[in-house]
Structure 1
Amino acid sequence: MTEPAGRKPLTILIAADTYYPNINGAAQFGYRLARGMSARGHDVHVVAPRGGAGGPFTEPREEGTVHRLRSRGVFTHEYFRICLPWEIKAHIRMLFDRVQPDVVHVQSHYMIGEQVLYEAVRRGIRVVATNHFMPENMNPFLPFPQWFKDIIARNSWRDMGKVMSRADVVTTPTPLAAKAMHEHAFLTKVLPLSNGIDASVYELLPGEVVQPPPRPIVLFAGRLAEEKNINVLIDALARVAPDLDVCLEVVGGGEVRSSLEAQVVRLDLGDRVTFLGLVDDDELRRAYLRASLFVMPGTAELQSLVTLEAMSASTPVVLADAMALPHLVDGGVNGFLFTPNDSADLAEKMTRILSLPEDQLHAMGRASRRMVDRHSHEKTLKTFEALYYGESRSSETV
């Protein structure tokens, strides 16, 4: 382990409302943050929901000590669980008494994040708050008409502002997300700070060879959720000229899988679409490396770690022109943006890339890899570590 030079190692408490083994960007970030800070010599504790029924418990893990709280299932989501404030407040107070954290890092303004933040403020402990969330992410799980969902979203933004304004530092992965937090949550100082990526994990190892697939592969990876608009990608695949012989691999699980499978049958694409389901890290890495093109049609991405992972594997991209995704595309250099929810435009951009000669396709992939350098995981860890110690970092007023 590496002790921070000239500084006493910290006891860090990370509060996460979604955490490993959940599959989403916030859960992945929290796990990688904990693992990275442990490797830098800090005593890391994570407080997160329990994955099933039962009371709170603590487990030692490679990334630190994980404290699981009593949680309740949500009938509209296959794995997401919530912690009720009156069931966790006392345990959080006892956790603070036992752990005695030097700094707290909350990953949301909901449930655990809110209660941990308020307890830290009450005790005078430094708080860093990171937002990974857009209220629109909840829409598929709310069985209400759109007008009522809009009211919930406005209240959620206001709640975010009320809670996170009490933190010492507020961060979010991209400048666009920081701008949204200013406009809707009225937070005036938000530091755009990438979630970070260890690009070397997705590069070819010395001597490693990936055999080219018999036909071009378009890849999607992520939650199979409504806001990811995977149905638009499937429609676009049906529009791509048959002579390109393109197939689609879909990695991930989620609530819309059955409707997507029905769409594939309806469009007679059964021999061209493969649902790989939830896969381990090694299988996901191989999927990135064999793909000819990565597509992200989601319209509520605060950063999109899976896109950064695909780019780390030297893969060209076609991304929706929405939220933070435009920051990951240099038009015509590493890929293209397409008009959100426009399957015809997506099909045209996919066709344009997949029709390129092999050397130009590889050049686009290399450009993707170069663009990832600005999102170094090591740089992200160093910046958060400095924030934990209270060192000044330039924040952005948006």
Structure 2
Amino acid sequence: MNSRPLKILIGADTYPPDINGAAQFGHRLAVGMRDRGHEVHVIAGRSSDGPSYDIEIDGIHEHRLRSHNPPTHPYYRLCFPWEMQRRVGKILDEVQPDVVHIQCHYIIGRMISWACKRRGIRLVSTNHFMPENLNPFLPFPDIALKVIAYCSWKDMGRVLGRADYVTTPTPIGAQAMHDHGFGAPVIPVSNGIDAARYELAPGEEVKKRDHPVVFFAGRLAVEKNIDVLIRAVALLPVDLKVHLELAGTGEIEDELKRVAREAGVEDRVHFLGFVSDAELREGYLRADVFCQPGTAELQSLVSLEAMSASRPVVLANALALPHLVREGENGYLFEPGDPQDLSEKLTAVLTASDEERRRMGEVSHEIVQKHSVEKTWDAFEAMYRGEYRGPEGR
């Protein structure tokens, strides 16, 4: 592969300080390419009111666009096309990137894709979203939401299909795109994980709680189905004295506290709020089992992180999550939305011996190795250079 440093521009409709999988991936991609010696620029909306601005943070050039808070979402920010179109074109003309990588087909991705095709700039697009994920924030009846989702899938095909390479994190995500009419080839490329970051260092010990812990990390959002997890914990045998730790913040935190109170487990459900990377790592390592009850996961980075920390997992049998479970070997799948089934699967893990759980964790760690972040960066770097030949030809 050609080793000449590249000038890479990443377009992200959501980017830190936003806390979600797509935002975190965009930042990890920027850092990964920077660490490989490339010049990295990012176009993203600003996280507060005010004019557009440029700033360099840790060697990454951020171009922040004027944005606005929509009335239907507590923290998501929107950039208006008429305010950003000329700005995006000016950034591209000044930076003159070798390649642009957009992370979404919505507003910023759309504007950048048009501008790139007009200028003949190589374009890579990645889809991290299921259009149905927006439904909880749209104040419309079900029939209207179905129409909006249908139009969004079609729009995704038009916008992302302009790219030289189209990717999504998993094969099942690629299949979902094709099932909804996406015509261009879609390449599954894992979001990647640096498993070593979550392993115990030689001689390191993490203090365990004096009770079993089920751990969840992520946004406290409707599509994560955390209410199902809380109700499942309430159904666990009382003598197990299991506690649930929820790492993250989100728009339904108050509702989830109400669910815990009504289920009678308020004293055993702990809302940790925003946690640092170090605190998150410690949370994985002290947990007895990790649970992801969400049904809209195109990969689930937090599940990969927990598996890197050698934790057993209990995951919803939905979308990409089944690819992370060897039933009975590293954990279990449960029927989405069924707290009784989830409770039974959690019980199976929590009543296993320490040695059995250790072996399950080892299998989790083995599974996650095929998601090595270096393989991911290799794949994208090959696309950036126009040299990608598929998994066998990298």
| 2: CA distance, partners of 1:224 / 1:27 | 15
TM-score (norm 2): 0.98
Q: Name the aligned partner's letter for residue 323 of structure 1.
A: L
Q: What residue number does 1:321 align with?
A: 317
| 2: CA distance, partners of 1:108 / 1:348 | 37
Report the CA distance between 1:385 and its aligned residue.
Answer: 0.2
1:195 correspondence with 2:214: no
1:25 correspondence with 2:21: yes
1:77 correspondence with 2:73: yes
Q: What residue number does 1:383 align with?
A: 379
Q: What residue number does 1:274 align with?
A: 270
SS in 2 for 1:170: strand
| 1: CA distance, partners of 2:187 / 2:378 | 14
1:149 correspondence with 2:145: yes
Report the CA distance between 1:187 and its aligned residue.
Answer: 2.7
Q: Name the aligned partner's letter for residue 228 of structure 1.
A: K
| 1: CA distance, partners of 2:266 / 2:296 | 28
Match of 1:243 among 227, 239, 246: 239
Q: Where in structure 1 are there 5+ consecutive unaligned residues?
A: none
Q: What residue number does 2:167 align with?
A: 171
Report the CA distance between 1:268 and its aligned residue.
Answer: 1.6
69-78 or 149-158, larger mean C-alpha shift:
69-78
Q: What residue number does 2:335 align with?
A: 339
Structural mapping, 1:1-398, within 5 Å: 6-62=2-58, 64-394=60-390
- Give the aligned length: 392
Q: 1:62 to 1:326 in 2, by over 3 A?
A: same
Report the CA distance between 1:75 and its aligned residue.
Answer: 2.1
Q: 1:174 to 1:145 in 2, by over 3 A?
A: same
Contact kept? 2:85, 2:111, Cα under 8 Å: yes
Q: Name the aligned partner's letter for residue 217 of structure 1.
A: V
SS in 2 for 1:189: coil
| 2: CA distance, partners of 1:353 / 1:89 | 52
Deviations 1:291-328 (A, max 9, x none): 00000010000000000011111100000000000000
Report the CA distance between 1:395 and its aligned residue.
Answer: 8.0
| 2: CA distance, partners of 1:116 / 1:63 | 22
Deviations 1:84-112 (A, max 9, x none): 11110000011011100110000000101
Q: Name the aligned partner's letter for residue 49 of structure 1.
A: G
SS in 2 for 1:149: helix
54-63 or 341-350, larger mean C-alpha shift:
54-63
Report the CA distance between 1:63 and its aligned residue.
Answer: 5.0
Contact kept? 1:190, 1:395, Cα under 8 Å: no
Q: Name the aligned partner's letter for residue 350 of structure 1.
A: L
| 2: CA distance, partners of 1:49 / 1:78 | 16
Contact kept? 1:189, 1:395, Cα under 8 Å: no
Contact kept? 1:159, 1:185, Cα under 8 Å: no
Contact kept? 1:202, 1:313, Cα under 8 Å: yes
| 2: CA distance, partners of 1:336 / 1:60 | 44
Contact kept? 2:174, 2:186, Cα under 8 Å: yes
Contact kept? 1:248, 1:273, Cα under 8 Å: yes
Contact kept? 2:79, 2:108, Cα under 8 Å: yes
Q: Name the aligned partner's letter for residue 277 of structure 2.
A: D
Q: Name the aligned partner's letter for residue 335 of structure 1.
A: G
Report the CA distance between 1:136 and its aligned residue.
Answer: 1.2
Q: Name the aligned partner's letter for residue 281 of structure 1.
A: D
SS in 1 for 2:214: strand
| 1: CA distance, partners of 2:105 / 2:2 | 33
Q: Name the aligned partner's letter for residue 337 of structure 1.
A: L
Contact kept? 1:218, 1:247, Cα under 8 Å: yes
Report the CA distance between 1:78 and its aligned residue.
Answer: 2.2
Contact kept? 2:166, 2:184, Cα under 8 Å: no
Deviations 1:261-307 (A, max 9, x none): 01111112122110001111111111011000000010000000000
Deviations 1:118-168 (A, max 9, x none): 101110010000000001110111111111111110000000001111110
Report the CA distance between 1:185 and its aligned residue.
Answer: 3.7
Q: Name the aligned partner's letter for residue 222 of structure 1.
A: G
SS in 2 for 1:81: coil
Q: 1:269 to 1:63 in 2, by over 3 A?
A: farther
| 2: CA distance, partners of 1:218 / 1:200 | 22
Contact kept? 2:165, 2:383, Cα under 8 Å: yes
SS in 1 for 2:173: helix
| 1: CA distance, partners of 2:314 / 2:238 | 19
Contact kept? 1:294, 1:307, Cα under 8 Å: yes
| 2: CA distance, partners of 1:385 / 1:185 | 28
| 2: CA distance, partners of 1:117 / 1:63 | 25
Contact kept? 1:14, 1:46, Cα under 8 Å: yes
Contact kept? 1:202, 1:312, Cα under 8 Å: yes
Report the CA distance between 1:6 and its aligned residue.
Answer: 4.6
